[in-house]
């Protein structure tokens, strides 16, 4: 069957950019960059193998400054010297007509002094992440906050110069942008914290800086996306009402899409287990068509993708695209039975999965041999 809804083209409301289909490869950590964040040939080949089938391809996250680094093997867009490698990456991702988006972020407190080569992690406030192994960060000064906003803007400029079709601001998965909005990580009492509106100020300032740079620099249509995590489990933490308030503010900006980061497209509330409402449905109804929505989490088969495409604008397929780089192509060729849902060690070279990436997969999956990729790798990064 090749008449699936998800195979139909999609045109963004605010940009004359058309995707050849509604399938997205979401940002997924590969840990294939050099220590300093430079793109490697292994990385180019990994992305190249997965290009051409999907409509939209988003990179694993790239840090906007040295203190934004969250893990080893992470992309960087923190300096102009990274542009040539990023340009090669963008070209590889656009092979066959896929659109390429660079996700940008700062890890904030989701890092450590070892990764930062002796530097203390930073955040909105000096509050450690409530997870094992994370250090207490230092609070960014007002001057550093403004410099970080500028760094996001310069990252957007570099993405434009490198030839990407857009950027995605990573405001999810408890990284720095989300840390400023969260009442758990932001305990400030100045203009950057306190009330919900003040906690929202940093995320919106980053969006507006990106808008400004795109308006001044882009010589072609260029997408601006924003990724959110709808809830936090921490107390106090971001609630769904908080997220809907942020969405209202984002609807007044020039962002082109909203990417909802969850491990299950059909997830209900984590904070309110008695509420049967599907989070993505609530967000879609609240957005009310103002922005297209990308949903992600647990989609593997064409039938699952079609169900999601019937309810939402764009459908991201993460883990399955690691296993099956030609997922879309096999559907178009009426060869769905050939889609690979598990991988074996002898498949690794063919799939472009380098040892660093394999080690990461195995650490997340509890060291499972045979690399089934049935547990979380990174719809979460």
- Please determine, for residue 98, whether its predicted confidence score (pLDDT) is greater than 70: yes
Position 217 scores a pLDDT of: 98
| Per-residue model confidence as pLDDT tens digits over 163-221 | 999 999 999 999 999 999 999 999 999 999 999 999 999 999 999 999 999 999 999 99
| Per-residue model confidence as pLDDT tens digits over 105-158 | 999 999 999 999 999 999 999 999 998 889 999 999 999 999 999 999 999 999
CA dist., res. 159 & res. 82, Å (int): 10
- Please determine, for residue 97, whether its predicted confidence score (pLDDT) is greater than 60: yes
CA dist., res. 243 & res. 230, Å (int): 6
Grade residue 345 by pLDDT with cuts at 50, 70 and 90: confident
Centre a 10 Å sphere on the Cβ of residue 319 and count the other Cβ atoms it contains: 23
Return the axis-axis angle of helices 142-162 and 201-217, rounded to nearest 10°.
Answer: 40
Grade residue 381 by pLDDT with cuts at 50, 70 and 90: low
Helix (H, G, I), strand (E, B) or coil at 294: strand
Task: Name the nearest CA neighbour of 112 among 104, 121, 103.
Answer: 121
Instruction: Tell me the mean pLDDT in the region 13-41.
Output: 95
Position 29 scores a pLDDT of: 87
- Please determine, for residue 375, whether its predicted confidence score (pLDDT) is greater than 50: no
Asked if residue 103 has a cis previous peptide bond (ω within 30° of 0), the answer is: no
Grade residue 315 by pLDDT with cuts at 50, 70 and 90: very high
Mean pLDDT rounded to a whole number for the chain: 93
In percent, the amount of the chain with pLDDT more than 90 equals 88
CA dist., res. 112 & res. 37, Å (int): 16
Instruction: Tell me the mean pLDDT in the region 19-32.
Output: 95
Helix (H) or strand (E) holding 171: strand 166-171
Which residue segments constitute the domains of the chain, with CATH numbers given?
A: 3-339 (3.20.20.70), 341-380 (no CATH)
- Please determine, for residue 373, whether its predicted confidence score (pLDDT) is greater than 70: no
For tokens 């542009």, name the residue.
83
| Per-residue model confidence as pLDDT tens digits over 43-80 | 999 999 999 999 999 999 999 999 999 999 999 999 99
Q: How far are the Cα atoms of 14, 54, 222, 224, 292 from residue 257, in angstroms, in the given order? A: 9, 17, 12, 7, 5
Grade residue 343 by pLDDT with cuts at 50, 70 and 90: confident
pTM of the model: 0.94
Position 344 scores a pLDDT of: 83
Which pair of structure tokens corresponds to residue 222? 């260029």
CA dist., res. 306 & res. 161, Å (int): 35
> Residues with catalytic annotation?
175
Give CA 55 to chain center in angstroms: 16
Instruction: Tell me the mean pLDDT in the region 338-345.
Output: 90
- Please determine, for residue 353, whether its predicted confidence score (pLDDT) is greater than 90: no
DSSP-derived letter for residue 130 is: S
Task: Name the nearest CA neighbour of 267 among 298, 233, 311, 228.
Answer: 298
């Amino acid at each position: 069957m090749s008449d699936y809804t998800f195979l139909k083209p999609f045109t963004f409301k605010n940009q004359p950019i058309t995707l050849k289909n509604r399938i997205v490869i979401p940002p997924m950590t590969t840990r294939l960059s050099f220590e300093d964040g430079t793109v490697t040939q292994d990385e180019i080949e990994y992305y190249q193998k997965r290009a051409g089938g999907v409509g939209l391809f988003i990179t694993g996250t790239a840090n906007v400054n040295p203190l934004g680094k969250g893990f080893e093997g992470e992309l960087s867009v923190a300096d102009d010297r990274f542009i040539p490698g990023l340009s090669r990456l963008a070209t590889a991702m656009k092979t066959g007509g896929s659109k390429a988006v660079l996700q940008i972020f700062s890890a904030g407190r989701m890092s450590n002094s070892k990764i930062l080569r002796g530097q203390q992690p930073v955040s909105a406030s000096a509050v450690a992440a409530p997870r094992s192994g994370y250090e207490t960060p230092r609070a960014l000064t007002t001057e550093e906050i403004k410099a970080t906003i500028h760094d996001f803007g310069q990252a957007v400029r570099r993405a434009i110069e490198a030839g990407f079709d857009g950027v995605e601001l990573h405001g999810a998965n408890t990284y720095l942008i989300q840390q400023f909005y969260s009442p758990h990580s932001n305990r400030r009492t100045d203009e950057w914290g306190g009330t919900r509106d003040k906690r929202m100020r940093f995320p919106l300032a980053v969006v507006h800086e990106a808008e400004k740079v795109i308006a001044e620099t882009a010589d072609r249509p260029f997408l601006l996306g924003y990724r959110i995590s709808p809830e936090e489990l921490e107390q106090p933490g971001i609630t769904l009402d908080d997220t809907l308030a942020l969405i209202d503010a984002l609807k007044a900006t020039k962002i082109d899409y909203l990417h909802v980061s969850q491990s299950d497209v059909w997830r209900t509330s984590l904070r309110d287990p008695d509420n049967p409402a599907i989070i993505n449905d609530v967000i879609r109804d609240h957005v009310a068509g103002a922005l297209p929505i990308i949903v992600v989490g647990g989609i593997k088969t064409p039938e699952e993708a079609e169900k999601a495409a019937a309810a939402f604008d764009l459908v991201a397929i993460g883990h399955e695209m690691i296993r099956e780089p030609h997922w879309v192509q096999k559907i178009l060729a009426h060869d769905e039975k050939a889609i690979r849902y598990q991988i074996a060690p002898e498949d690794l070279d063919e799939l472009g999965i380098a040892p660093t990436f394999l080690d990461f997969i195995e650490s997340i999956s509890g060291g499972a041999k045979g690399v089934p990729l049935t547990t979380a790798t990174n719809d979460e990064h």
